[in-house]
Structure formats: C-alpha cells, structure tokens
Amino acid sequence: MLKKAMIFLFVLLFIISSGTVFGAEHAKQGSGDYVSAKSTDATVLTMGKERLQMNYEQLGAVVKAPENSPFHNASFRVIGTLHAIKGKWKGNGMVEFTCASGDKIYSTFEAQGMLGGGPSSSINTFVGGTGACAGITGTLEIEGVPGIKSSKKGTFQGISVGKVTWKIP
C-alpha cells in the first residue's frame, strides 16, 4: 500500500511540476543570441564550370536562444534554393520552426555566400505562426560558421550564429 501511495505522489508531483515547464508562456517580444546546428540534403545541377543550381532540404535544432523565447529548444525545417556563379551564391527559401510547445513559426529568407564552406549570411523575416506564435513578426540574422566538414557524402552539416528579434501580438 505504501508503494502505491509513493508512486501516486511521484506521478502527482511530476504532473504538477511539468505543467509549469510545458505550459510556460513565451515572452511577447524580445531579442537575443541565436545558435543552431543543421544537416542539409541537396540536389545539385552543374551548368558548366562556372554555374550551379542547388535545391535543398535542411533539418536542425536551435542550440541557443533566449530561454523565454519561442525559439528556445525549437527544431526547424528549411526548403531552399541557391544559384552560384563563379563560386558566389545567392538564394532564398522558407523555414518552419517547431517550438517545444508544438506551435509553429514561419519565415522566409534571403541568403548569400561562397561555395565550398566559405562565409555565408542570411536574413529571415518571420511571417506568421500557429497557436501562441500566431502573428509573430521579427527577424533572424545569421551567419554560417565556415570550415565544418561533412560526415557523409551528399550531405552538408553546419552551425549558424546570429541574433533573433521577435514580437507576438
């Protein structure tokens, strides 16, 4: 009987304490440092020696963001494209962030960089979301960290660092 009572108390304590973690509200606005890790699968079409077209899907996780932000412990999926001429590329696409709560945040982005692991930068513009993130606006300005070698042929891994600013109505 004592064992059942202890299990009941443990479960009750877990439910009470997890409600504060899982039900925590995000700050309605803020800004801070951002770091993410990502892996990319790409389809590449070369056009002679000077041009290439790449379409890609990228999956990743936010490693660092303000703890009260909707980006804290979020994952993301990117669908993007880039066109390179003589090693310099420009691209764009869309991002779907999945918050720890399950809510979504959507952004579009413009990016540029150098092929072969060179420096890159991107400006994401938040265009909306679901649940507690509905109507979110703001930006995510990031730079890629060059020099990370791929762990598998045909994929690319990387880290992005930058600043995130958001406002939820």
CA 115 to centroid of chain Cα atoms: 21
- Gap between the Cα atoms of 7 and 61, Å rounded: 34
Mean pLDDT of 24-42: 92
Residue 72 has pLDDT above 70, yes or no: yes
14 pLDDT band, cuts 50/70/90, is: very low
- Both ends of the chain: CA-CA distance in Å? 51
> Taking the CA atoms of the chain, what radius of gyration do you get in angstroms?
20
- Gap between the Cα atoms of 97 and 38, Å rounded: 13
10 pLDDT band, cuts 50/70/90, is: very low
Identify the structural domains of the chain with CATH numbers, from first to last. 24-167 (2.40.350.10)
Judged on CB neighbours under 10 Å (0-12, 13-18, 19+), 42 is: middle
106-138 confidence digits (pLDDT tens): 999 999 999 887 789 999 999 999 999 999 999
Residue 13 has pLDDT above 90, yes or no: no
- Mean pLDDT for the chain overall: 88
